[in-house]
Amino acid sequence: MPGTPTSLINLRDWFVKRRPGSFPGSGDRNYVSQYKNLEDYLFQDIHPEVEKLAMTVDGGYLTDHGPEHIRTVIDRASQMIGDPKDRLSPYEVYVLLVAIHLHDLGNIFGRVSHERRLAEIMSHIGTRLGNEVIELKTIRRIAEAHGGKDSDGTNADTIGTLQPEEPFRSEAVRMQLLAAILRFADELADDTDRASRLALELDRIPTEARIYHQYAKQLHSVRVLRDSGSIDLRFTLDSDVACRTFEKDGGSQYLLDEVYCRTMKMHVERIYCTRFMHDVVRLDAINVRIRVFRSATDTTPLEDIKYSLRESGYPNMPLEISLVVDDLKWSGEGLKRRLEGAREESHDGQ
């Protein structure tokens, strides 16, 4: 039925049932066993430490970056993909799962440019990731593309800078596709389970971080509806949070305006990521519903705000083609001079 989530095939659960012969190398390496060992190690020893170590560097208060966040990103990616059969190879699922586990670990060294600090933590993890150099570089670049800018710090098109695919043992890994799935699944993973609810209630979150936790807390439902090609977001606000302002970027922001801001960012991310994943994942709209109550105990909404974010109307056309194409060799005038020069050379040669 349109608008209803299809039954979830969890990528991780699907992956661990694959036979060794499903992967590159005809079974000479047990990818399932390696992944399970890596997962156990990361869930036990690394993921629970990310937020604490980040605070020692930045002094901030991150939303959840631990094991539950990783599970949520895997769930969101699973909802986006549906049945992996005929959409992703078992090896691509392995690469995606490992990249999801790694994508936020750079926060250990601080929030700023954390997506570019993976080499250090991957070196610490060591042989649990295997020792295939091309494979490790591929996974690292996919994980790094989930946000921020490229290694030069100038280009936000981090997925576009990747190769469309990278062959490994004669099997192609669609790097841009996997990076887009990871990036948008991460975008969809900022819901109520990621907020520090007790710290909010006790007012123990630093003021500059509070709006991010409050936004997450109020986002109580995120659904990927593959059949209708849409995302469904549900927020709840009451007067305690809707009537106050929160510090943000040196100014102040109402939470409703933050919802507008964050959902617009999600809209842009959807447009961007769809460019690379449309063959496997097609999401055309983000539908938002915000129920506003007088108080936390009230059961009848005072306001019911609904809107849909989708591409519409005629696209804006840049005034100059040079704003779209970087490497055009000729202008009309330049081509004229080139042809006139060629004619003169031909005439002189006679």
Output phi, psi for 44, to 5 deg.
-85, -45
Taking residues 17-37, report their average pLDDT: 91
Pairwise CA distance, residues 348 & 350, whole Å: 5
Q: What is the pLDDT of residue 2?
A: 45
Pairwise CA distance, residues 344 & 341, whole Å: 5
The tokens describing 182, both together, are: 């990871």
How big is the CA angle at 307 (ends 71 and 194), to the nearest 5 degrees? 25
3-class secondary-structure state, position 282:
coil
Q: What is the pLDDT of residue 32?
A: 96
Between 45 and 111, residue with greater pLDDT: 45
Q: What is the pLDDT of residue 1?
A: 41
The tokens describing 204, both together, are: 């123990």
The 10 Å Cβ neighbour count of residue 252 is 12
- The pLDDT mean for the chain works out to 89
Taking residues 2-17, report their average pLDDT: 78
How many Cα atoms sit within 13 Å of 339 on the Cβ side? 7
Pairwise CA distance, residues 62 & 164, whole Å: 32
Residue 47's alpha-carbon distances to 104, 197, 279, 329, 336, in angstroms, are 9, 19, 32, 49, 62
Output phi, psi for 80, to 5 deg.
-65, -40
Pairwise CA distance, residues 339 & 318, whole Å: 28
Between 170 and 97, residue with greater pLDDT: 97
Q: What is the pLDDT of residue 4?
A: 46
DSSP 111: S
Q: pLDDT, tens digit, for every residue of 195-254? A: 888 888 888 888 989 999 999 999 999 999 999 999 999 999 999 999 999 999 999 999
In the chain, % of residues over pLDDT 90: 65
DSSP 247: E
Between 54 and 282, residue with greater pLDDT: 282
Between 324 and 71, residue with greater pLDDT: 71
Cα-Cα end-to-end distance for the chain: 76
Q: What is the pLDDT of residue 349?
A: 65
Q: pLDDT, tens digit, for every residue of 47-94? A: 988 887 777 766 567 787 889 999 999 999 999 999 999 999 999 999
Please return the burial class of 279, using the count of CB atoms within 10 Å of its CB with bins 0-12, 13-18 and 19+.
Answer: exposed
Taking residues 261-286, report their average pLDDT: 96
Q: pLDDT, tens digit, for every residue of 95-119? A: 999 999 999 898 887 655 555 678 8
